[in-house]
């Protein structure tokens, strides 16, 4: 599915990822954790370059502010339909698309905001729209960058379970170590642009986490 061996990624003159080696088999679900600036976002972007068909949740949501929640979710499949069908659905959604998207937004607690402009939504609501768009796109692989960071812990856990059920192969970064430990069997700790550890979650001790997040 994914295999990186001593991968380096540079942005401008700065090396962001250093000798990254990572293997992810089909059907694996794992969480990336680590301090800010560790390289998690860059790693997810690199993996998406390798599998551009994978569903993706951006850290900044990548939503259209003046457009509605519904239309932002609809964008998830624009590349799979004709231009005419896409334009028609953006103006007057057909029943199949309307029903499917409404069901996704309902599942994420966004029923009342389906036709609300993104600019009027809170950070947590925007995250849920981004998640709904990924679910609408579907597929076998999801890459997600902090998809629940602005959502309350209880709802965040529910959303993670929805994503785990929807995508057989799942890689996401999480700010909350507790959520990562609770919901994922494999944790990859990143620090200073490299893999600090790659372990089953039950083997990630408090001491190892303290080392991962220790001040530079």
Each residue's pLDDT, cut to its tens digit, for the chain (216 residues) gives 899 999 999 888 788 999 999 999 999 999 999 999 999 999 999 999 999 999 999 999 999 999 999 999 999 987 776 676 767 767 777 788 889 999 999 999 998 999 999 999 999 999 999 999 999 999 999 999 999 999 998 899 999 999 999 999 999 999 999 999 999 999 999 999 999 999 999 999 999 999 999 997
SS3 call for 206 = helix
**pLDDT at position 105, please?**
97
For the chain, list the strands marked E by DSSP. Answer: 2-11, 14-24, 29-33, 55-57, 141-145, 169-173, 186-191, 194-200
First to last CA, the chain: 33
**pLDDT at position 128, please?**
97
Count of helices and strands (H, E) across the chain:
8, 8
**pLDDT at position 81, please?**
67
Q: Which domains does the chain have, with CATH numbers?
A: 1-54+141-216 (3.40.50.300), 63-138 (no CATH)
The C-alpha atoms of residue 183 and residue 156 are separated, in whole angstroms, by 11
């Amino acid at each position: 599915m994914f295999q990186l061996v001593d991968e380096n990624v540079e942005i401008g003159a700065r090396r962001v990822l250093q000798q990254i080696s990572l293997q992810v088999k089909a059907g694996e679900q794992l969480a990336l954790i680590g301090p800010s600036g560790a390289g998690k976002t860059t790693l997810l972007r690199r993996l998406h370059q390798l599998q551009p068909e994978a569903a993706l949740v951006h850290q900044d949501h990548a939503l259209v502010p003046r457009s509605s929640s519904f239309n932002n979710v609809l964008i998830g499949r624009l590349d799979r339909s004709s231009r005419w069908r896409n334009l028609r659905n953006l103006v007057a959604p057909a029943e199949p698309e309307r029903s499917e998207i409404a069901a996704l937004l309902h599942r994420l607690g966004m029923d009342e905001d389906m036709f609300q402009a993104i600019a009027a939504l809170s950070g947590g609501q925007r995250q849920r729209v981004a998640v709904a768009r990924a679910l609408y796109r579907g597929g076998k692989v999801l890459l997600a960058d902090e998809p629940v960071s602005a959502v309350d812990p209880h709802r965040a856990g529910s959303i993670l379970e929805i994503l785990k059920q929807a995508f057989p192969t799942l890689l996401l970064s999480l700010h909350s170590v507790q959520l990562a430990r609770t919901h994922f069997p494999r944790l990859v700790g990143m620090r200073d642009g490299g893999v600090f550890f790659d372990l089953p979650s039950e083997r990630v001790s408090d001491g190892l986490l303290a080392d991962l997040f220790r001040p530079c």
